C-alpha cells in the first residue's frame, strides 16, 4: 500500500442520516489523515447542521456541515471524479439510492469508490437477498459489483465495490474463518452472541429502549436470525469444498457498545489451545486489529476501537472461542473505513489505530 502522509485530502460523502453508524463514521473520519467529509445525505434532516444531530462531534471540524437531500449528493460527483461513498442507509432502501447516485456519477465520468454498510451489497444473488430479508432487491443489476467479506479475509482489492458484513457476522467469522480455511474443525458450529443496545439503532422500540434493556438479558430470533445464512456463506468462502452449518442465537445485552460472542466447534483432531492460538495469530499476522490468546477477552478491551480480541479454550476435540468487538467500529464504521482505505491504496489501518475507551 502507498504511504501518502502529505498527499491531498480525499473527499468522501455519506449516504445516511442521523443513525449511530453514520455518527460513528463521522467521528472516525474526522480523525482520518486523508479522508475529508464533503457531504452527508439525509432527506429527513436536510438543511440541519450535522452537529445538532451529533452533539458529541462539535468542535472537530464538522460545525459547518449540513445534511443534504439524497439527490443533492450527486453534485459532489461532478466536482470530484474520484471520491469515496459510504452507504449507511437501511437495508432495502440503500440499493436504489446507490443506483441513482451511481448513474449520475457515470454520466459525469466519475469513478467513485463505494463501501456499503447495509445488507443490500452483501448478496451477489438478488433472490438470496429477497429470501432472507423478505423484500425485493432495489437494484439487482448492481449485486455482482459488490465484494462482501471481512477485510482480513479478502487479500486483494475488490474489482468494483465493497460491502461490510453485519456486526454479528464479523464477530463470529473472525475466529472461525482460519479454522475452516485450514480444515481444522468440523462444519457444524454453534454461536451465542450478546450485543449492546446501539446495535438496535437510534429509534427506540418497546423491546430496545433503555427501561427494557437495563439490568436485563434476553435472546431473540434463535436459529432464525438473518445473519445466520450470512455467516455460513462467508465461512464457505474459506475453503471451496466446505458446507458450514451454523446455529446462531443472538441476545440483547444491557450495555451500549460491543458484541461478546461464544463459539463452539469440534476439532477434527485433538489439539492444545496453544496451537490454535498460534494458528490464529499466524493467520492474522498481517492484520493490525485481530489477536488471539488463551485468556478470555472482555468487552472493555475493544470498545471504541477497530480491534477484535479472541480467546481460545480446548478440551479434547471441543473448542470454545470467545470474541469481542465494538459493533459500531469493527462491526460497521471501522470495517468500512478499512475497505475504503484499501480501495484508495492506503494501508488498512490508516486512521484506525485507536485507543480503547477503557472506562465506559
Residues recognised as catalytic: 167
Helix (H, G, I), strand (E, B) or coil at 218: strand
Catalogue the long-range contacts made by 309-315 (C-beta closer than 8 Å, 24 or more residues apart): 310/174, 310/175, 310/280, 312/273, 312/276, 312/277, 312/280, 313/273, 314/267, 314/270, 314/271, 314/272, 314/273, 314/276
Distance of CA 223 to the CA centre of its chain: 22
Nearest in space to 210 (alpha carbons), one of 251, 168, 256, 247: 256
Q: Is 215 exposed, middle or buried (0-12, 13-18, 19+ CB in 10 A)?
A: exposed
- What DSSP letter does each residue of 179-212 carry, written as one string? HHHTT-B-SEEEEEEEE-GGGG-SS--TTTSHHH
Beta-carbon-side half-sphere exposure of residue 86 (alpha carbons within 13 Å): 33
60: its cell numbers? 472537530
What angle, 0 to 180 degrees and rounded to 10, lies between the N-to-C axes of helices 167-181 and 227-236?
30
Cell numbers representing residue 26 in the block: 463521522
Crossing angle of helices 20-30 and 334-343, rounded to 10° = 50
Backbone angles phi, psi at 192, to 5 degrees: -120, 125
- 145 DSSP assignment: G
Find residue 2's DSSP bridge partners.
Answer: 346
CB-based burial, 163-173: b 16+ in 10 Å, e otherwise: bbbbbbbbbbb
Contact 101, 139 (CB under 8 A): no
Amino acid at each position: 500500500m502507498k504511504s501518502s502522509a502529505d498527499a491531498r485530502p480525499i473527499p468522501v460523502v455519506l449516504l445516511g442520516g442521523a443513525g449511530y453508524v453514520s455518527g460513528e463514521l463521522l467521528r472516525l473520519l474526522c480523525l482520518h489523515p486523508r479522508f475529508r467529509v464533503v457531504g452527508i445525505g439525509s432527506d429527513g434532516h436536510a438543511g440541519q447542521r450535522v452537529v445538532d444531530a451529533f452533539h458529541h462531534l462539535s468542535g472537530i471540524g464538522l460545525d459547518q456541515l449540513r445534511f443534504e437531500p439524497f439527490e443533492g449528493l450527486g453534485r459532489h460527483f461532478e466536482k470530484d471524479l474520484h471520491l469515496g461513498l459510504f452507504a449507511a442507509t437501511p437495508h432495502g432502501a440503500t440499493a436504489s439510492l446507490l443506483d441513482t447516485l451511481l448513474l449520475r456519477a457515470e454520466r459525469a465520468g466519475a469513478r467513485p469508490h463505494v463501501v456499503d454498510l447495509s445488507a443490500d451489497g452483501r448478496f451477489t444473488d438478488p433472490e438470496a437477498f429477497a429470501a432472507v430479508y423478505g423484500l425485493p432487491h432495489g437494484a439487482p443489476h448492481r449485486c455482482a459489483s459488490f465484494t462482501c467479506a471481512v477485510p482480513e479475509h479478502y487479500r486483494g482489492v475488490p474489482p468494483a465495490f465493497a460491502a461490510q458484513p453485519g456486526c454479528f457476522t464479523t464477530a463470529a467469522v473472525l475466529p472461525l474463518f482460519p479454522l475452516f480455511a485450514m480444515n481444522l474443525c468440523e462444519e457444524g458450529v454453534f454461536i451465542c452472541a450478546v450485543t449492546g443496545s446501539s446495535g438496535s439503532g437510534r429509534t427506540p422500540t418497546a423491546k430496545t429502549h433503555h427501561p427494557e434493556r437495563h439490568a436485563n438479558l434476553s435472546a431473540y430470533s434463535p436459529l432464525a436470525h438473518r445473519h445466520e445464512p450470512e455467516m455460513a456463506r462467508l465461512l464457505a468462502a474459506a475453503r471451496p469444498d466446505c458446507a458450514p452449518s451454523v446455529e446462531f442465537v443472538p441476545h440483547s445485552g444491557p450495555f451500549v457498545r460491543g458484541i461478546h460472542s461464544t463459539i463452539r466447534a469440534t476439532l477434527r483432531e485433538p489439539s492444545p489451545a496453544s496451537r490454535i492460538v498460534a494458528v490464529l495469530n499466524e493467520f492474522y499476522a498481517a492484520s493490525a486489529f485481530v489477536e488471539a490468546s488463551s485468556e478470555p477477552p472482555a468487552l472493555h478491551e475493544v470498545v471504541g476501537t477497530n480491534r477484535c480480541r479472541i480467546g481460545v479454550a480446548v478440551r479434547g476435540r471441543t473448542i470454545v472461542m470467545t470474541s469481542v468487538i465494538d459493533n459500531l467500529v469493527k462491526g460497521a464504521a471501522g470495517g468500512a473505513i478499512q475497505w475504503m482505505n484499501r480501495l484508495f491504496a492506503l494501508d488498512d489501518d490508516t486512521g484506525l489505530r485507536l485507543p480503547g475507551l477503557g472506562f465506559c
